[in-house]
Amino acid sequence: MKITNENEKLESIGCVGLVTKPNDTSLGSYYNRIKVALEKYSVRLIVELDSAKNLDTTGVSFEEMCEKSDFIISLGGDGTLISACRRSYRYDKPVLGIYAGQLGFLTDIKSDEIEEFIDNLFLDRYRIDKRMLLEISLCQGEKIKKIVAFNDVVFARDNISTISTINAYVEGQMINSYRGDGLIVSTPTGSTAYNISAGGPLVYPLAKILILTPICPHSLTQRPLVLPVDFDIQFKSDDDVLIVIDGQDRYRMKDFDNVVIKIANKSAKLIHSLERNYFDILKEKLNWGSK
């Protein structure tokens, strides 16, 4: 099975950036081990300012860290990695996820694998996967605010006692009017997030598609829809609808004339071990094959 078609490698490893789970002061031992493992290869480790406060060390701004580093280490969980990818989007830096806690869908390096994996980096025993991102344009008159999403964009009703209506258009033609609790627009990577809870399909993360999944639709005939990535999808609603991006940013639909979602120009680059197998992760996280 061909896991990925990408053969990209890091051009150099001289400086590495580090971001950690916010407000977690228990990651000091991880930080020290990463630092020592990199110093073995004369590599400098620089820490983002807020993370440095939790680690009791000196830090630099997130922007300076991105500019100086060859890649970024995200230490925490999937949420920390998603935030790091979104914030570093314009710098086009690969991100390595080291998890502190339970195995996630994105972070695959365990605490007892830190030294071994860093050794493997310098032996070119790793791969870089490119994950599709969404570009969201929040349009108000001539003003357009653009944001990227890693997992999904959720249009959710703000008032639990009412049904929201969200209209979706492609090239000016309405493709559906979603009435119910809301709608999820998901990347393939995000298919294992809110999308799967709402009955959406599981999609291999390196696929190139868009997924539209209704949330508790008013009509039982409403079903998830898979679209090609060259579609720009426009959404409009006159109801009290919240726009939630990756569970991290929130906006109100009424503040904008419309919202346009399409594939972003650049992908997120995730550094993984060669042994990482997406289907093994699915079996572990979803208990597939268990008795």
Averaged pLDDT for residues 226-241:
95
Report residue 209 as tokens. 């598609």
Rounded Cα–Cα distance for residues 198 and 223 (Å): 10
State pLDDT tens for residues 92-147. Answer: 999 999 988 666 788 889 888 999 999 999 999 999 999 999 999 999 999 999 99
Higher-pLDDT residue of 289, 255: 255
Q: Which of 69, 221, 41 is nearest to 51 (CA)?
A: 69
Looking at residue 1, its pLDDT comes to 39
**pLDDT at position 5 over 90:** no
Q: Which residues pair with residue 74 across a beta bridge? A: 19, 97
Residue 143: partners with Cβ closer than 8 Å, 6 or more residues away: none
Active site residues: 78
* Cα–Cα distance measured from residue 191 to residue 207, given in angstroms and rounded to the nearest whole number: 11
Q: Is residue 262's pLDDT more than 80?
A: yes
98 touches 30 (CB < 8 A): yes
CB 81 within 8 A of CB 95: yes
Contacts of 237 (CB under 8 A, 6+ apart): 155, 164, 165, 166, 167, 253
- % of the chain exceeding 90 in pLDDT: 83
Q: Which residues pair with 184 in a beta bridge?
A: 154, 213
Domains and CATH numbers, the chain: 15-131+267-286 (3.40.50.10330), 134-263 (2.60.200.30)
- Tens-digit pLDDT profile for residues 62-102: 999 999 999 999 999 999 999 999 999 999 999 999 988 66
CA-based nearest residue to 185, from 231, 140, 142, 220: 231
